[in-house]
Structure 1
Amino acid sequence: MRLKAVSSIVFGCLVLSGCRSAGPEEALTLTPSSQQVASQQGVGAPVPQVAVSETTGAIGASAGQDRQALAFANASSGVSHFETPGTSAGMPVPDARPVSTLASQLVPFRRGQHHKVYGQRFSDAKPINFGKAAPQRHPVHGVDVSRWQGELDWPTLRKNGANFAFIKATEGGDHLDPMFKANWNAAKAAGVKRGAYHFIYWCRVASQQADWFIRNVPKDPDALPPVIDVEYNGESSCRFRLSPREVREKMQVFMDRLERHYGKRPIIYATPDFYEDNLRGHFRDYPFWLRSVAAHPSVRYPERKWLFWQYSGTGLSQGAGGEIDLNVFYGSENDWQRFIHGKARWDQVAGLR
């Protein structure tokens, strides 16, 4: 096209006010996926349940499907595909993956959009003396909840120090916490910053579990990043433990799918024993939420920086009828404001940068 023609078109647009450039907020707007629309409208059949066998063959099939999904997910990023079993090629090293820089993580910040932080007034049925590293030294406290807490008074809970909440959403590929939707909506109405978590089943294909989570958890730009809860479950019908490599493969498939959908890097929740057996030294470019109820995380996880710390499973608070899990955010109140408004990445407020 000739320059003269271009100039004429530009002039015509200005005169008619019919042409304009997209602003930063428009540039960050994401079109909901068909899966999310179906979730919000209640459309779509549940993800079919995978039959779990007591044989190692069922686990091997699950791991194989997860490897294929991980290879496919990394094909466009230049990461090599998995090769057939028995070759020297393995999974991409999780901590070699770049820190997420998705534009959708940076939520537009509106003037005057300050999240009020309440000082905690929690107590504990079984208090622990953490010494100088007491969780009370951190200014931003929160809780995590599931069906077992029953009906919660979210406005009262917030005023007693629940500035954020991680709410159980799903397990495996077909279980939805019956209190999730009520807690999800009531927490937001009370001004609590909330995120949803998924309890992973090791004998279930990870991509199916991710789809189930996506079907049930709305894509809310104000929500905290989604959480993958990784730990051993003695009550599961899966009687065999995967190898550490297979565990990390399954986690990667699940987290990749959630990050693509929600535009936020998932948070990994881990317990000391599971972390020691499977995660030490890995997933350096992921935020961690660590359980450590008898000592500071620096004792249980000496080489790991954390974003959230679960310091009690026996907390007490007005607004909750029984015991509730208590947590803290790593950074200062200013760090919290910057983090939830997309002005700082997780690694910038967790002492990594």
Structure 2
Amino acid sequence: MKSWIKAAALLAVTALAACGGGPTRQVVTDISIGSGQSVQGGFVGGAVPLLGDTAPHVWTSGHPYNHQVHGVDVSRYQGNVNWHQARGAGISFAFIKATEGGDHSDPMFRRYWAETRAAGIPRGAYHFYYFCRSGAEQAAWFMANVPRERGALPPVIDLEWNHQSRNCRYKPSAEEVRREVNIMMSMLHQYYGQRPIIYTTVDFYRDTGVRSVNAEFWLRSVADHPRVTYPGQRWSFWQYTGTGTAPGFTGNVDLNAFAGNRAQWNGWLSARMQR
């Protein structure tokens, strides 16, 4: 690395560390390093992980790296992952795909579930919701595949439109979506002792009124800050890119930020992890 790039990188890291990672401050510190990737900020004393993006976005309303706590969500497409390396680089949590619909399970779930635990990364399981199955059927399938385990994060229901898939062309009404999701939420809450988190996308959120469901939210917003994309909506997690890079991963991985600072993250973990 050339000396002027080193100096710029040091300045970026210093600025980011000084800002404290508050969610309303913007620190844009992308430094191009070739091969279509960039280093955003840096890993400073466990506060900010060393992450990148193969298709970096120019953030104008709030940069993801204003947030101190970052993590990933994964499925079988990530292949082999070095979770110890990921944790050492500052990855603070992982959401792992477990199930889909009422009869599909991710073939990498059990492996990732064991490996993240061994690496000391807090992790939870997520279910990809399928409109040709009832909420009760999907809850039962998830419970059959995801253990009730001490220290796990709350379960997640992934809600996004998928009615154009070859297996299920059904697009339910907003009322049916909310009714069936509430059934699934209640069943999972009773079984795991944790109120599930809802992951959703901009169009699904807009079309279904799912914001009225009693849940914490994990929001996908890859073109702007969630406060712009989902005005007035409280959230715990923000998925800010699907083309991210992180130590321990050989290809792209979804990257996410937690809403609060490091101390708030520790408090959230203490309150949410299954006992």
TM-score scaled by structure 2?
0.80
CA contact (8 A) 2:61 2:228 kept: no
Q: Tell me, what secondary structure is at the counterpart of 1:250?
A: helix
Give the C-alpha shift of residue 251 in structure 1. Answer: 0.4
In 2, Cα distance between the equivalents of 1:225 and 1:139?
21
Over the aligned positions, Cα root-mean-square deviation in angstroms equals: 1.6
Picking from 238, 242, 252, the partner of 1:309 is 238
Per-residue CA distance 1:267-289 (angstroms, 9 max, x = gap): 00000011100125512x31000
Picking from 198, 216, 238, the partner of 2:168 is 238
Are 1:212 and 2:154 matched, yes or no?
A: no
CA contact (8 A) 1:119 1:139 kept: yes
CA contact (8 A) 2:87 2:119 kept: yes
Task: Give the 4+ runs in structure 1 shifted more than 6 A.
Answer: none
Between 1:335-344 and 1:317-326, the stretch displaced more is 335-344
Give the C-alpha shift of residue 117 in structure 1. Answer: 4.8
Q: Tell me, what secondary structure is at the counterpart of 1:268?
A: strand
Which residue does the alignment assign to 1:73? none
After superposition, the Cα gap between the structure-2 partners of 1:244 and 1:338, relative to the gap in structure 1 and judged at 3 Å, is same
Picking from 177, 180, 186, the partner of 2:106 is 177
Give the C-alpha shift of residue 325 in structure 1. Answer: 0.2
Q: How does 1:1-353 map to 2 (within 5 A)?
A: 117=46, 119-131=48-60, 133-233=62-162, 234-279=164-209, 281-283=211-213, 285-342=214-271
Per-residue CA distance 1:156-203 (angstroms, 9 max, x = gap): 111222110000000011111000000011011111110100001111
Q: Any unmatched runs of 5+ in structure 2?
A: 1-44
Q: Tell me, what secondary structure is at the counterpart of 1:229?
A: strand
Give the C-alpha shift of residue 221 in structure 1. Answer: 2.7
Per-residue CA distance 1:206-236 (angstroms, 9 max, x = gap): 1111111011111113111100000111224
Q: Radius of gyration: which is bigger?
A: 1
Give the C-alpha shift of residue 119 in structure 1. Answer: 2.5
Q: Any unmatched runs of 5+ in structure 1?
A: 1-115, 345-353
CA contact (8 A) 1:144 1:167 kept: yes
Between 1:274-283 and 1:290-299, the stretch displaced more is 274-283
CA contact (8 A) 1:118 1:159 kept: no
In 2, Cα distance between the equivalents of 1:308 and 1:268?
10
The residue type paired with residue 156 of structure 2 is: V
TM-score scaled by structure 1?
0.62
Q: Share of identical aligned residues, percent?
A: 48
CA contact (8 A) 1:206 1:251 kept: yes
Between 1:267-276 and 1:227-236, the stretch displaced more is 227-236
CA contact (8 A) 2:70 2:90 kept: yes
CA contact (8 A) 2:178 2:210 kept: no
CA contact (8 A) 1:306 1:330 kept: yes
The residue type paired with residue 301 of structure 1 is: Y
Higher strand share: 2
The residue type paired with residue 102 of structure 2 is: G
In 2, Cα distance between the equivalents of 1:130 and 1:329?
17
**Aligned residue pairs, count:** 228
